[in-house]
Structure 1
Amino acid sequence: MIVKPPPVFLPSRRDRVRISFSVLLRLADDDRFVLFDAPKRPGAFGPPGGVIKFFPPAARILDALGFQPERTGSPHHKLRADLRGTLPAGAVRRFRTWFASGAYREAADECLRRELREELAEVGVHGLGRTVSELEFALVRTVREGPRPVPGKNYRQLRGFEVRELAMTNSAARRLSRALAEAGEDEAYPGVLLADFDDIAHGRSNRALIAPQSAFLVGPSRLAPDLPPLR
């Protein structure tokens, strides 16, 4: 009896690929990491940071590639110009080339500074927004996932995560690190959590869920599937 191998999936140019490119901040307090409450996934905590945004001159480039921005989840004004959406499969290689050039999009440090200003206010840690512009960051690792099928979805997904850590080169960095470590210990700041590797691997710290991208703080592989966002 001859057993035929399973058919190989060869995507057509009409197939769409979901893309999402983000920057994450690794901020450690001894063996624990600072995580923030994630508005799109209430009750779940993940690293500070977020999706990279593109600048107006890139809109024409992305339109030519067939990019369709994602408009679900958070209020639309917060998603404007996010590098999160879908592309025709045949445009993925050209998108990678454009993204690697860095043209007309946020650099990783720009993205982190913008996100920190927003997220510090969201988690109730005030008084540090003005110092964010003084922060510097160092690359920890870059993770690329896909394009790969997504269980239960009719698309494949390509994602990029750039993990950076705070460079302790000035008083602003030391002040931010100290304030967030203290907030993670203080019940008055429920939006800030300190989680160690065991918590991240387990996916929960007491009642709090831990978003699976938190695993990139300690290594290049995720340890659990995604949590569904609000729609």
Structure 2
Amino acid sequence: MVPTAPTAWEAQRMPRTPVRISFSALLRVRDDDRYVLFHSPTRPGVCGPPGGVVKYLPPAAGLLERLGFDEELTPPHVEVARTDLRGVLPARSVRGFLAWFATGAYREHAEDCLRRELAEEAGEVGIGPLAENPHDLRFSHVRTVVEGPAPVPGKPYRQLRRFEVHDLVTGDGAGLRVARALARAGRAADQPDVVCASRSDIRHGRLGRLLIAPQSAFLMGGTRLAPDLPPVR
């Protein structure tokens, strides 16, 4: 599922201030009544769902430049974040950006993003590689949550974010093995960077000494339960 270009009524609601956009894919892995979360290297002490920001492909660079897209490259994770669909657009360009995104051209789809992120993040939390061939993994769409454009306290822009949540398809060998490995790591005392959080933990926003990233709520439904936590810069 992808967002469509705005209707005339929606276009009238577009803000006149710049708009920060961030379009992401999240992976939902359940272990009975709990959800597997990874420790975040960009937010120490915080855990959240595997996944990350969708990347654009080289042929889209010219289009995004014409739209005035100012890519968000904040130290110390500049190289990792390069070509992420996260940055600031002039308000006049939001409609064109959404129309391009809806075509699916020259960008990752959620499944591509999740395969890449799962391989990268599994190594970061000390359990990779999970799959011999990440392309064997298949995913099933759960929901898409779109927030904004909405004001951000203390920031000179509004924010438009999109979170696309997928399950691993576990009917085949590759997906089932990965899901079991993630659940096992979440239960293991010697894997502190992988945890299994209950619905109650996610609503509370904390699991032991770890804070739970607010986007984790989208594993359960379409409602945000807490404000954002700032990244390291």
1:3 corresponding residue in structure 2: none
Structure 1 unaligned blocks of 5 or more: 1-8
1:5 corresponding residue in structure 2: none
Q: Does 1:22 align with 2:51?
A: no
1:132 corresponding residue in structure 2: 134
Cα distance between partner residues in 1 of 2:180 and 2:162: 29
Q: Does 1:66 align with 2:68?
A: yes
Q: Does 1:186 align with 2:183?
A: no
Deviates more, 1:172-181 or 1:54-63: 172-181
Q: CA RMSD in A?
A: 1.4
**Is the alpha carbon distance of 1:115 and 1:143 closer, same or farther for their aligned partners in structure 2, counting shifts above 3 Å?**
same
2:45 corresponding residue in structure 1: 43
1:6 corresponding residue in structure 2: none
**Is the alpha carbon distance of 1:46 and 1:68 closer, same or farther for their aligned partners in structure 2, counting shifts above 3 Å?**
same
Candidates 189, 200, 203, aligned match of 1:201: 203
- Deviation at residue 152 of structure 1 after TM alignment: 1.8
**Is the alpha carbon distance of 1:137 and 1:24 closer, same or farther for their aligned partners in structure 2, counting shifts above 3 Å?**
same
Cα distance between partner residues in 2 of 1:221 and 1:83: 22
Deviations 1:59-110 (A, max 9, x none): 0110010000001144211111100000001111111111111010001110
Q: What SS is found at the alignment partner of 2:150?
A: strand
Cα distance between partner residues in 1 of 2:160 and 2:81: 18
Deviates more, 1:152-161 or 1:66-75: 66-75
**Is the alpha carbon distance of 1:139 and 1:177 closer, same or farther for their aligned partners in structure 2, counting shifts above 3 Å?**
same
- Asked whether the 8 Å contact 1:120–1:129 carries over to 2, the reply is no
- Deviation at residue 16 of structure 1 after TM alignment: 1.1
Q: What SS is found at the alignment partner of 1:114?
A: helix
- Deviation at residue 36 of structure 1 after TM alignment: 0.3
Structure 2 unaligned blocks of 5 or more: 1-12
Cα distance between partner residues in 1 of 2:131 and 2:230: 30
What is the TM-score when the length of structure 1 is the normalising length? 0.92
**Is the alpha carbon distance of 1:108 and 1:91 closer, same or farther for their aligned partners in structure 2, counting shifts above 3 Å?**
same
Aligned residues: 221
Aligned identity (percent) is 58
Cα distance between partner residues in 2 of 1:229 and 1:76: 13
Q: Does 1:150 align with 2:169?
A: no
**Is the alpha carbon distance of 1:78 and 1:127 closer, same or farther for their aligned partners in structure 2, counting shifts above 3 Å?**
closer
- Asked whether the 8 Å contact 2:50–2:117 carries over to 1, the reply is yes
Cα distance between partner residues in 1 of 2:95 and 2:196: 38
- Deviation at residue 144 of structure 1 after TM alignment: 0.5
